[in-house]
Amino acid sequence: MGALAHYLERESIPTTQISLIYEHTEKIRPPRALWVPFELGRPLGVPENARFQKKVLQSVLELFEAEQGPVLAAFEEEAPASGSEKTAEADAWSCPVNFSPPRQEETDPEKRVSAFKREMAQLRPWYDQGLEKRGRTAMTDFDPETAEAILSNYLLGEHVEIPRKGLSLAVALRLAAQDLKSFYFEAASSRPGARAPDIREFAEWYWNQTAAGWILKEIQKKCADEQDKDLRLTGKMFLVPAGQNA
């Protein structure tokens, strides 16, 4: 749609759009675009929430007021849970693995990275089981081991091996973070005898109760101190949702 917007604008037809993938829109540079931090397939956030959807639409239409473009704005709010995603307390989702709270000394990056690796090893059998059952995965760029290595090595200041030629470190971190989240969600959803978590349940567990959430928050802080502007942008926009920042 971003490329099409350029053709429409040449015919004096003003355009604006919603973007779900920031880096794609950044490269295409459409005249006006609003990036939203929602799930793919949900450009307005959630179903059955007309008030929130209207807020998103108003934000994207307000881009017409910009004096010049291209404009790539960010919608700062996280999507609330829809009515279909809310569950009764009696049916509350339980975390797939009850990770023990880290001891004080485990806030050391090397020890937390070790905990992160153990965590992924615990979840891997459920991920593999779900993959076999579904025959597909949302991990589209890296396998679990590669995503883990990219994130862990960057945090520890070690050499980051990027398997895809021409991929920058900033983009590799973004893609690894996306794939890591997919790994955890698919593992949590594939636990035998348990229902899949809704968005809020998963976010609470992932960002506040796992080593993976801690790792990504620490990487976000490290990116903020980088000289490279793409790494700073990655830390600011792509690793941790605004509502989950440390």
List the chain domain ranges.
2-83, 93-244
pLDDT > 70: what percent of the chain? Answer: 87
What is the C-alpha separation between 236 and 242, in angstroms, rounded? 9
Q: Helices 144-156 and 211-224, interaxial angle, to 10°?
A: 50
What is the C-alpha separation between 205 and 213, in angstroms, rounded? 9
Task: List the single range of 109-113, 197-201, 213-217, 231-235 with lowest mean pLDDT.
Answer: 197-201
Asked if residues 200 and 85 have their Cβ atoms less than 8 Å apart, the reply is: yes
The H or E element containing residue 206 is: helix 199-209
pLDDT band at residue 91, thresholds of 50, 70 and 90? low
Task: List the single range of 47-61, 172-186, 213-227 with lowest mean pLDDT.
Answer: 47-61
Asked if residues 220 and 240 have their Cβ atoms less than 8 Å apart, the reply is: yes
Q: Residues near 71 by Cβ (< 8 Å), separated by ≥ 6?
A: 31, 32, 33, 63
Summary mean pLDDT of the chain: 86
Which tokens belong to 225? 């101190």
What is the C-alpha separation between 54 and 98, in angstroms, rounded? 38
**Which pLDDT score is estimated for 64?**
92
CA Rg value for the chain: 19
73 pLDDT above the threshold of 70: yes
Asked if residues 161 and 222 have their Cβ atoms less than 8 Å apart, the reply is: no
Strands (E), the chain: 17-19, 32-35, 71-74
**pTM summary value:** 0.66
pLDDT band at residue 100, thresholds of 50, 70 and 90? low
Asked if residues 214 and 151 have their Cβ atoms less than 8 Å apart, the reply is: no
pLDDT band at residue 15, thresholds of 50, 70 and 90? very high
Give the SS3 label for residue 167. coil
Asked if residues 92 and 194 have their Cβ atoms less than 8 Å apart, the reply is: no
DSSP string, 95-144: -SS-PPPPPGGGGSHHHHHHHHHHHHHHHHHHHHHHHHHHS--S--S--H
Which tokens belong to 54? 């209207």
**Which pLDDT score is estimated for 129?**
93
**Which pLDDT score is estimated for 43?**
87
Average pLDDT over residues 84-99: 56
What is the C-alpha separation between 59 and 43, in angstroms, rounded? 12
Question: For residue 20, which of 48, 43, 54, 47 has the smallest C-alpha distance?
Answer: 43
pLDDT band at residue 40, thresholds of 50, 70 and 90? low
pLDDT band at residue 233, thresholds of 50, 70 and 90? very high
